[in-house]
Structure 1
Amino acid sequence: MASPHKIPKERPGPVGGKRDQNRRERTAGLVNAGLQQFLQRGIETVTIDEITREAGVAKGSFYRYFDDKENLVAAIMNPFAQQVRDAMKACHGALSIAKTDADVTAAYIALGAHIAIAASTMQDVVRLYLQEHRAPSVGARACIGELSREISDAAIALSQVAVEHGLIDVQDPRVSATAVVGAVEALGLMYLDGRIELSPADLGAMLVRIVLDGIRARGG
């Protein structure tokens, strides 16, 4: 994924100092302005002029903090992307040492809870991901397409680990993983639209149990 954002060429001053604080505030302002514009009109159609106008800064200021629009999108997505990576990594480790059905269930529920909690604190970011990730992965959307592939690959890897350890029974881990990712995305959008009243953690746990009941290795 592209570097989320750059440090301005001029020294920002001591960490926590006034200049550093100003830099952080302006960066956050551009991130928030970009996010709102992208949600309303789509990433590709929004211009840097429109982002800086929304943020209330001069266009030249944008390039002190970001190389281009793709760099800004990466900055928007990176906090959520890192949470997803951390959750997937933890689940992989838990599945690698899982011995029982309860271990498998706990590993996947922890994965779901981690991502659900992160998503609930970054709802606009998640909505942008869901809005854009199936569009062509080009230009400023490239990092979103990269994250989508990363999630798919990680989900398949988790299924493969579980199959190799005899914990779930599926003919092709790619099919089951892709189906689960699709279900999570659809449910996530329903939650964001207010069509599901469960908490994110409860919703994730319910989905895990439904899926595992269907693909769990029998006699384990």
Structure 2
Amino acid sequence: MATRDGTRSAGADTPPGAAGSRPGRPGGRREAQRRERLKELEDAALRLFLERGLDTVTIDDITQAAGVAKGTFYRYFDDKAALVDALLEPVRRELLAGMEACGQALVEARDVEAMFDAYRAVAAVIASALLQYPGVVRLYLQESRGPAAGARTQVVELSRLVARHAVEITEKAHTHGLLRPIRPAVSGLAVVGAVERLLLAVLSEEAIGNPLELPDALTTLVLDGLRLPPEGSRPRRRKLDGGPKRP
């Protein structure tokens, strides 16, 4: 779950291997303390990452901001990259699961409405991730275009996974001839770019209207542009080599 400032709370999403998931009496005092320390570290780190970027924030900065000893950090994480991976995990899980479900639905789609429903479903997943983990989503958007090195490696890897799934989804949408003959690598990545720009606009509080209306609006905009028009309304193409026009 996200706190009011967009940071994550420790709990069900605690990654395997973190101290919050180590053996202990369920509901006991020691377990509660571990979860509290984990939350303090993750919240402090996310605030600093958003303010200063991944590269400039050190483990010392994180522990000082969290008000814990440096040794406490290493009880929970091997390094800064492991902490970033833990922050990303719930968003990554929800987003990739939603995209995989969308791809399967598109394989089974036989008409335009079914195709719209599949894309609306993945748009709803994106909206859910945005509402639950706004800080983590913003961190992803800020860092995903940087080099895949150090603590940013997992962010860039998630960006590549999203792009790959977007292209695969588009390929499946072409299965039944419902989309224009545009290369999936082009249209899929164009959609990813549009979605990420809109998410950043929401998180930056730009004047783009009600964020809750964005998933359906974006789905309609994208699919109206990509879907194959009815046979009678398709424009005739002109040859680009200066030859005679098609009658």
- TM (norm. structure 1) is 0.93
Give the match for residue 39 of structure 1. 50
Question: For the Cα contact (< 8 Å) 1:88–1:154, is it kept in 2?
Answer: yes
Give the match for residue 85 of structure 1. 96
Structure 2: distance between partners of 1:127 and 1:37: 13
1:145-184 alignment, distance < 5 Å: 145-184=156-195
- State which of 105, 111, 124 in structure 1 corresponds to 2:135: 124
**1:218 positional shift:** 2.8
Structure 1: distance between partners of 2:144 and 2:85: 13
1:100-139 alignment, distance < 5 Å: 100-139=111-150
**1:84 positional shift:** 0.4
Change (3 A) 1:9 1:183: closer
**1:49 positional shift:** 0.4
Structure 1: distance between partners of 2:21 and 2:72: 12
Instruction: String of CA shifts for 1:121-157, please: whole Å, max 9, x gaps.
Output: 2111111111100010110100000000000000000
Structure 2: distance between partners of 1:11 and 1:90: 32
Change (3 A) 1:160 1:28: same
**Structure 2 letter corresponding to 1:207:** L
Structure 1: distance between partners of 2:175 and 2:96: 22
1:70 aligns with 2:84: no
CA-based RMSD: 1.9
**Structure 2 letter corresponding to 1:116:** A
**1:9 positional shift:** 11
**1:7 positional shift:** 3.6
Structure 2: distance between partners of 1:165 and 1:97: 9
Give the match for residue 213 of structure 2. 202
Change (3 A) 1:10 1:132: closer
Give the match for residue 245 of structure 2. none
Instruction: String of CA shifts for 1:13-41, please: whole Å, max 9, x gaps.
Output: 11222111111111111111110011111
Change (3 A) 1:201 1:166: farther
**Unaligned residue ranges in structure 2 (runs of 5+):** 1-13, 232-247
The structure 1 segments of at least 4 consecutive aligned residues displaced by more than 6 Å after TM superposition are none
**1:110 positional shift:** 1.2
Structure 2: distance between partners of 1:132 and 1:218: 38
Give the match for residue 141 of structure 1. 152
Change (3 A) 1:11 1:210: closer
- State which of 59, 62, 73 in structure 1 corresponds to 2:70: 59
Question: For the Cα contact (< 8 Å) 1:116–1:204, is it kept in 2?
Answer: yes
**1:196 positional shift:** 3.7
Q: Whose radius of gyration is greater, 1 or 2?
A: 2
**Structure 2 letter corresponding to 1:211:** V
Structure 1: distance between partners of 2:36 and 2:120: 36
Structure 2: distance between partners of 1:9 and 1:23: 5
More helix by share: 1
Instruction: String of CA shifts for 1:75-134, please: whole Å, max 9, x gaps.
Output: 111111111011101111211111111001111011101111221221111111111000
**Unaligned residue ranges in structure 1 (runs of 5+):** none
- TM (norm. structure 2) is 0.83
Question: For the Cα contact (< 8 Å) 2:48–2:62, is it kept in 1?
Answer: yes
Structure 1: distance between partners of 2:222 and 2:37: 44
Change (3 A) 1:8 1:120: closer
- State which of 223, 240, 246 in structure 2 corresponds to 1:212: 223
